[in-house]
A and B are shown apart, each in its own frame.
Chain A
Amino acid sequence: MDMVLVLVLLPIIAALLLGLFPYQRLQYIISGATLALLSIVAFSLYTSLSDFTFHLPHNLNILIIVADVVLLLFFLYQGRKFNNIKVMVLAVAQLLLYGYIESIAPVAGRAEIVVDELSKFMFLIINGVGGVIVLYAVKYMEGESASPFKKRLFVGALLVFLSVMNLIVCANSILLFFFLFEMTTLASYLLIAFRGDEISRENALKALWMNQIGGVVILVGALIAIIGFDTVMFDTLLESSGGVLMLSVALLSMAALVKGASLPFEGWLLGAMVAPTPVSAMLHSATMVKIAPYLILKLSPVLAATMVGGIISLIGALVFVAASYLALSRSVFKEILGYSTVALLGLMMALAAIGTQESIAIAMVLMLFHALSKALLFLSAGVLEKQYHCKNIEEMKGMVNRAPKTVGFILFGFVSLTLPPFGLFMGKLFAITSVASLLNEHPAYLIVLLALIIGSALLVLLYFKVASALLSSASDVVQSETMPISAGFNIPLVVLSFFIVAGAVGYIMMQQNIFVILLAFPMLFVFALPSIIHSMERYDRTLPYQCGEKGSFDSALVYYEPSIKIQRAMYWGFGILFVAVALVGAMS
């Protein structure tokens, strides 16, 4: 229990310390120490066996209610201030619902905080990846044009956000979950709007109202749970059966779809890419959006082998393909990463909603390795943005000559997302096996399987298309200017790469399958190749073949874009499917 408290309180303390002491070096020390402590605690917690439950004191509960109301009023105020009707309407709806629920909510119940296997696993992701991102953020914010206090506030906010995340993954009360859900919405709203310009404001408001839809459906789900089963606790709800159970669970998983930015809600996550990069990394790929698969995983005991679970895995699978496809038309690096995040979240939700033991395990593995790889990619994108001033992949042509190390990290990120023996690849591989073994139970899984196969292929296309711009390099006898990246950026990237490799090794060893271990062999071979690079000196260097011409060559990137008609059809389709989740829940 103490360790959970450490996870929740330590980031807040660190944030306070950061706020108090304005010394640059101290910031590095504090964030570094926080990272070390948090990841050690999370890891030891993960290896410990027992589950914890914990009752919140009554006063704290009242405090949370007050905070929640204040939060919703703040949303209402923001909606009014920027004259956004959607935000206002949704805020009012939430206020009314929340008030009504609190008035009829059963007082006594089970523990509000339950730390189970899933929570411990989430701790691992949140603190390991989140800690690295905070460390990175300190360096990143140095180059930002904002007042020193605002910068420290930014890093502090990221730390506080960590503790919110740590709490949300062990919340057992739906109302507590709702409060923390809204807190993450608030965090993403404030941090997207951090730069304060017109686009940031607009995208922040978009993120706000979309996420508020998630809040509303959670509240409706909670209301139904109270009416149907007289409980606001997840575990009690999941143990009950019949009646309106499916409707309540369907509504809760709709919140996951919103938070996971599944189509048609992917707009908010892409808009969030205007925020400073640590925000994108922390909130919009590595940790916060992981609430979506987390929530589905939490609900999976009920969702498994039901119509609602089926339709959610259908949505997830289709999102996997559609988002991968849409990403092919983008040229802003962070947007591409954003789309592929949406895609992979879809895949995780699909697997989680299938709900067999195997697919749940695979979804968790995908979550962990996706968080690591995407954080690595986002942080590298941030380095390119800060040190080389490139956001668009069109500007990154031949980047490998200017920024070999950063490009190396990006390439490693891509490889870790697609190729054996890294975790994400293994996850996809086992997912194919697992879904194929389900085919005999129900042919409808063929859709999931197809989506999985085609989506993976499209993601390969996407990543290596981007690599094409980065990689093209002149002959190695041509001198080129390289700019080293500073240690403040380098260390977090190295740490993340280490996590990816260590995770992959650990995961392979866990399989107890000699063939899986042998899958790592080619990668080892490739990584060993640079050792013979010196023997390459004896070969002549020459110019590329250009039909005898001697011009310079600028690689062209290929984009694939669906027509407007198809896009519209896609959005309508996903919108209908989203509503269908509730309808199916109501019917079953």
Chain B
Amino acid sequence: MKFFTPFRKKSPWVLHYNAGSCNGCDIEILAALGPKFDLERFGVINTGNPKQSDIFLVTGPVTYRSRERLVELYSQIPEPKVVVAVGSCTATGGVFRGMYNVEDGIDRYIPVDVYVPGCASSPQLIIDALVKGLEVLEAKSKEIEKPYKLFGAIETIANKLSRLNMATKVGQNEKD
């Protein structure tokens, strides 16, 4: 529907997920949402619920324990959606890069649209990234986007498209 597409960027709802961050970036995100930087003037709501979100704000380098949740949450966000990787860890692994218990950045698991640098990244940067993300969001189609890893299957059961097994657990479907 062409008519509704411009409104995507007027009401970006955000899901914030901490994939093992040190909380530095999370605090900055909250600061950005708070009264001083007031992300709500862009129509941003921190929904906390993937099913009603457009923008997936991820912080942290993706620890082993968090990757299944990351992919599960990602696959529960309805398209069109945008992933914003907040902070150095999320982009590359940052100071945790190469450690035994982390994956180096979330783009090993899910496609990322906007990277935000900084350790921790500042609210101004986050706002900038969100606005950048909105441009990406407006250009996206409603096709299903799949995670790179831990992707199970999108099947049609009795004429209904099932995303139930879209995200799998580690070791359940593919070799990790």
* Interface, chain A (partner B; CB < 8 A): 475-478, 537, 539-543, 545, 547-550
Contact = CB atoms under 8 A, between A and B. Distances in A.
Given A548-B72, A550-B169, A543 B49 contact: no
Contact of A477 (B72, B144, B160): B160
A549 B72 contact: yes
B76 interface: yes
Interface of B: 17, 49-51, 68-70, 72-73, 75-76, 78, 144, 157-164, 166-167, 169
A477 B164 contact: yes
B72 A540 contact: no
B30 to A, nearest CB: 18
Contact of A543 (B69, B157, B159, B164): B164
Contacts of B78: 540
A57 to B, nearest CB: 70
A475 B163 CA distance: 11
Q: Which 6 A-B pairs have the closest CB atoms?
A: A548-B69, A477-B157, A477-B162, A548-B72, A548-B73, A537-B159
B163 A547 contact: no
B162 A545 contact: no
Given A542-B51, A545-B49, A550-B169, A476 B160 contact: yes
A47 to B, nearest CB: 50
B160 A537 contact: yes
Contacts of A547: 69
A493 B87 CA distance: 62
Contacts of A475: 162, 164
Contacts, number: 53
A541 B69 contact: no
A545 B50 contact: yes
Contacts of B72: 543, 548-550
Contacts of B70: 548
A543 B76 contact: yes
A515 B84 CA distance: 54
Nearest to B71: A548
B82 to A, nearest CB: 18
Contacts of B73: 548
Contact of B163 (A537, A542, A545, A550): A542
A537 B160 CA distance: 5
Contact of A541 (B68, B75, B162): B162
A537 B156 CA distance: 10
Nearest to A479: B157
B83 to A, nearest CB: 15
A541 B164 CA distance: 7
Given A477-B157, A537-B159, A550-B169, A542 B164 contact: yes
Contacts of A476: 160
A475 B157 CA distance: 11
Nearest to B169: A550
Contacts of A550: 68, 72, 167, 169
Nearest to A478: B164
B113 to A, nearest CB: 20
Nearest to B159: A537
Residue among B72, B144, B169 having the largest count of chain A Cβ atoms under 10 Å: B72
Contact of A549 (B49, B51, B69, B158): B69
A541 B144 CA distance: 13
A545 B51 contact: yes
Contacts of B163: 540-543
Contacts of A541: 157, 160-164
B60 to A, nearest CB: 13
Contacts of B158: 477, 537
B41 to A, nearest CB: 28
B161 to A, nearest CB: 5
Given A476-B160, A477-B160, A545 B69 contact: no
Contacts of A537: 158-160
B166 to A, nearest CB: 8
A542 B72 CA distance: 11
B87 to A, nearest CB: 19
A550 B166 CA distance: 12
A539 B144 CA distance: 12
- Most B CB contacts (10 A, CB to CB) among A478, A539, A548, A549 go to A548
A564 to B, nearest CB: 41
A316 B123 CA distance: 64
Contacts of B166: 542
